[in-house]
């Protein structure tokens, strides 16, 4: 069975393309920037709220108290250890607003081991901030 890579996700460890904090902005700036531009390349600093427990193939990031962002890895080129949950990262990649279908939402809810009731409650497509990551480095 597939599983996330082992590792402690300690500060300085990187995944995918090597990146640094140089030029990174707070993820809280992204919603305003997406009002002006449909998509753009960026480097952000953010806290990881969740990681795919199956393979480490996606992340959920905290944007603010009421908003999260979803991250996939570019070309499925790398995966992240579960230990990255709760850490602060720098992500180098592309940001956009994406409409997520009901089926896709249910798929990710199943990956995250949500209850049947939580999965069944997903009935509408939703818009969310999405990132396609080229590289990630743990900073805290």
5 is a domain residue: no
Contact 39, 17 (CB under 8 A): no
**pLDDT bucket at 2, cuts 50 / 70 / 90:** low
- How much is the mean pLDDT over the chain? 93
Segment 18-27 shows an average pLDDT of: 96
106 is a domain residue: no
126 is a domain residue: no
Number of independent structural domains in the chain: 1
CATH of the domain at 35: 2.40.50.140
Is the pLDDT reported for residue 130 higher than 60?
Answer: yes
pLDDT tens-digit map of 35-71: 999 999 999 999 999 999 888 999 999 999 889 999 9
* Full residue range of the structural domain in which residue 42 is found: 14-98+131-138
Q: What is the dihedral of CA 113, 117, 121, 123, to 10 degrees?
A: 70
Contact 10, 80 (CB under 8 A): no
């Amino acid at each position: 069975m597939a599983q996330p890579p082992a590792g402690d996700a300690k500060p300085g460890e990187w995944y995918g393309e090597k990146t640094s904090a140089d030029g990174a902005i707070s993820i809280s700036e992204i919603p305003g920037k997406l009002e002006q531009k449909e998509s753009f390349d960026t480097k952000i600093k953010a806290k990881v709220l969740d990681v795919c427990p199956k393979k480490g193939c996606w992340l959920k990031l905290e944007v603010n108290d009421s908003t999260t962002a979803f991250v996939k890895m570019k070309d499925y080129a790398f995966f992240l250890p579960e230990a990255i949950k709760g850490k602060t990262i720098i992500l180098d990649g592309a940001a956009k607003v994406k409409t997520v279908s009901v089926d896709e939402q249910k798929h990710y809810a199943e990956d995250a081991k949500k209850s049947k009731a939580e999965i069944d409650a997903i009935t509408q497509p939703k818009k969310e901030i999405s990132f396609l990551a080229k590289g990630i480095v743990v900073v805290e």
